[in-house]
Structure 1
Amino acid sequence: MVFGGFTTTMYTSMNGYFVFGVTGCYIEGFFATLGGEIALWSLVVLAIERYVVVCKPMSNFRFGENHAIMGVAFSWVMALACAAPPLFGWSRYIPEGMQCSCGIDYYTLKPEINNESFVIYMFVVHFMIPLMVIFFCYGNLVCTVKEAAAQQQESATTQKAEKEVTRMVIIMVIAFLICWLPYASVAFYIFTNQGSDFGPIFMTIPAFFAKSSAIYNPVIYIVMNKQRRWLWIPPVKQVTWRGLVAQHGTELMTGSSRERRQNGKRHK
């Protein structure tokens, strides 16, 4: 994203237009789309991981290193499933917005490259499905946390964990919507209103939010994860998919038993 997207866009912006030709447009568009989609699907994987850890839909299931690798691989596969087809003739990459960066062609129907079917595919598979998965996982997570907190009202640790988890869920969902809702809405509007007049800024600003998600999503995750806050560039082997919710989910489920043990020691 940095080398194939932002750096190229910065250089072309100084020239006032995209100067690298058709091939360069495809390369820049591919890397920019790939980076944005990896960020999107990483949020989906994190939501699923937190749902499984806290809500425990599968008993006795524990995340390990292999599951983390599978999550990363899944994010890349889904991102490639979105970014690669235009390279092989299903839709195409063209200059968009201020004409200094390239993206998927939402502007023309282009039946010879099946552009209409690709836009529908992107909107359903790479926006609606991730949105529904995130809402489902985080919705169930909040309900589980609140239920556990209600059963342990005397525990200050549990109440604090509930607030932290709820805050994390709200921020992550809002971040997802800020990243992708404007881009998906504007792109869908442009595609369904072919021939309408709109300025270059109309598409540039939503594209900026979507593509920059690759930068500020990790920042949000690091800031909200107390276990990783001090470790801005952690070694690969130390990175796990257990974040803030995994930590607080454990506190919620074990808080009352820990307090009972402490009370037992006092009585002794």
Structure 2
Amino acid sequence: MVQAAGSDGIYMDASFNLYYPKGYNQLYDLPEDLKSVVSEHWGQFPPQHPLVSHIFGILFFVLWLVNFFGNGLVIFIFLKTKSLRTPTNMFVVNLALSDACMMFCMGPPVTINAFVQRYWMYGAFACQLYACIGAICGTASLLTMVVIGYDRYNVIVKGFSGVKITPGKAFIMLAAIWGYSIVVSAMPFFGWGGYMTEGGLMTCGYDYLSQDWNKKSYMWFAFVFNFIVPLIFNAFFYTKIVKAVVMHEAALKAQAKKMNVDSLRSNTDDNESAEVRIAKVAITNVMLWICIWTPYAFVNMIAVFGNQAIVTPMVSQIPAFCAKTASCLNPVVYAISHPKYREALSREVPCLGIREERKAGSNGTDNGGEESVQTKA
């Protein structure tokens, strides 16, 4: 049984196979005002199956729900719990805020679009604005993760000799993060770089398909200063953290051996798990960054300076979607790894079933969730 063809000649049969007239491609019925933000590159591919856009619409909706719950919970707990309202913890709140803003602005429009129209239905300017908001929030999140890494490096590696983050310094850092993100991401509106629809034609991002040097130079700048440089800093901070933890543990074992005891710790299992947790969180932070953001960054750069033929709609769309999953995973890694956050969460939201008891001897100070580890030559 075959379903009746639409006025555009495209139809699906009973087995959901898509049929379309010979010569049709993804750009066959685009409105004229949208073509300014749609690359001709996508015209070499056939019309996309409607089920693909529906799947992405559902995924964006699920991502939006998880994002809203996870980041909302982080913001609620950190702001409600007095002991957590410290300057350094405001970086975690800022990360949750930027991630929440990203999906709040990007999730619902795509979900609605996916079930109403096969291409971006809000017009060219809305496409550019959508992409700009995504760039602002994404850049702010990446830079905030660098600042969090720096703060934890200060606490764990430097200890008491580290730079103390005061409310004033924290405010200046956050203002610099948002100021830089807004200025750099707004450049396409002032003639440098550009934004366009991505492979599925329902989301928008950087214009990485144009061949003029104006667009290419902007992509180079974004790749180096919004991805590579922050990644290097983050990798440096967390490498130092892992090294300090390993050296600290080795020093304790050596001292225990000299004293002819098994361990200098009063509760070996718990304290060893704390040491291991610090290292695991540090490694997870870097690996999460690499696994989530690298595919999207390299697809962009392949299209700019490589073989554009391999950049199909799915090659473009899937990494772009995966990059947005960072907005859901960030609060899990940065907040759940914070013992005092878990304590507050178990107290304020008991329905989640989280059990985190306050450890005896806690002095009420807040060092970002980890103990200070300082190594001396």
Is the deviation greater in 207-216 or in 162-171?
207-216
- Aligned position for 1:159: 272
Aligned residue in 2 for 1:213:
326
Of residues 192, 200, 203, the one that matches 2:316 is 203
What RMSD over aligned residues (CA atoms) do the two structures have, in Å? Answer: 2.3
Structure 1 residues 221 and 64: alpha-carbon distance in aligned structure 2, compared to 1, 3 A threshold: same
Distance 2:288 2:310 in 1: 29
Q: 2: distance between equivalents of 1:193 and 1:132?
A: 23
Q: Which amino acid aligns with 2:161?
A: S
TM-score normalised per structure 2: 0.59
1:63 offset after TM fit, Å? 2.1
Which residue in 2 is equivalent to 1:28?
130
Partner of 2:199: 97
The structure richer in helix per residue is 1
Shift of 1:194: 5.3
Structure number, greater radius of gyration: 2
2:371 to 234, 248, 251: 248
Which SS does the other structure have where 1:227 is aligned? helix
Deviations 1:114-152 (A, max 9, x none): 111101111111111011101111111111111112222
TM-score (norm 1): 0.82
Instruction: Among all aligned residue pairs of Structure 1 and Structure 2, give the percentage whose two residues are the same amino acid.
Output: 27
| Corresponding letter in the other structure for 2:108 | T
Identify unmatched segments of 5+ residues in structure 2.
1-101, 254-262, 349-364
Q: Which runs of 5+ in 1 are unaligned?
A: 235-239, 254-268
How many corresponding residue pairs?
241
Deviation at 1:110, TM superposition (A): 2.7
How much has 1:229 moved relative to structure 2?
Answer: 2.4
Give per-residue Cα distances to partners, 1:153-172, cap 9 Å, x unaligned: 32225533320111101111
Question: Could you list the per-position Cα deviations for residues 82-117 of structure 1 after superposition, in whole angstroms to 9, with x for gaps in the alignment?
Answer: 321112111111101201011010111234xx1111
**Could you tell me whether the CA contact under 8 Å between 1:41 and 1:78 is conserved in 2?**
no
Map of 2:118 onto structure 1: 16
The residue number in structure 2 matching 1:184 is 297
- Kept in 2: contact 1:17–1:100 (CA 8 A): yes
Which one-letter code corresponds to 1:184 in the other structure? A
Among 154, 160, 178, the alignment partner of 1:76 is 178
Q: How far apart are 1:19 and its partner, in Å? A: 0.7
2 CA distance for matches of 1:67 and 1:194? 45
CA contact (8 A) 2:127 2:197 kept: yes
Contact 1:49 1:241 in 2 (8 A): no
What is the identity, as a one-letter code, of the residue corresponding to 2:301? F
Q: 1:241 to 1:212 in 2, by over 3 A?
A: farther
User: What is the identity, as a one-letter code, of the residue corresponding to 1:147?
Assistant: M
1:207-232 superposed Cα distances (whole Å, 9 cap, x missing partner): 11222322321222222112112546
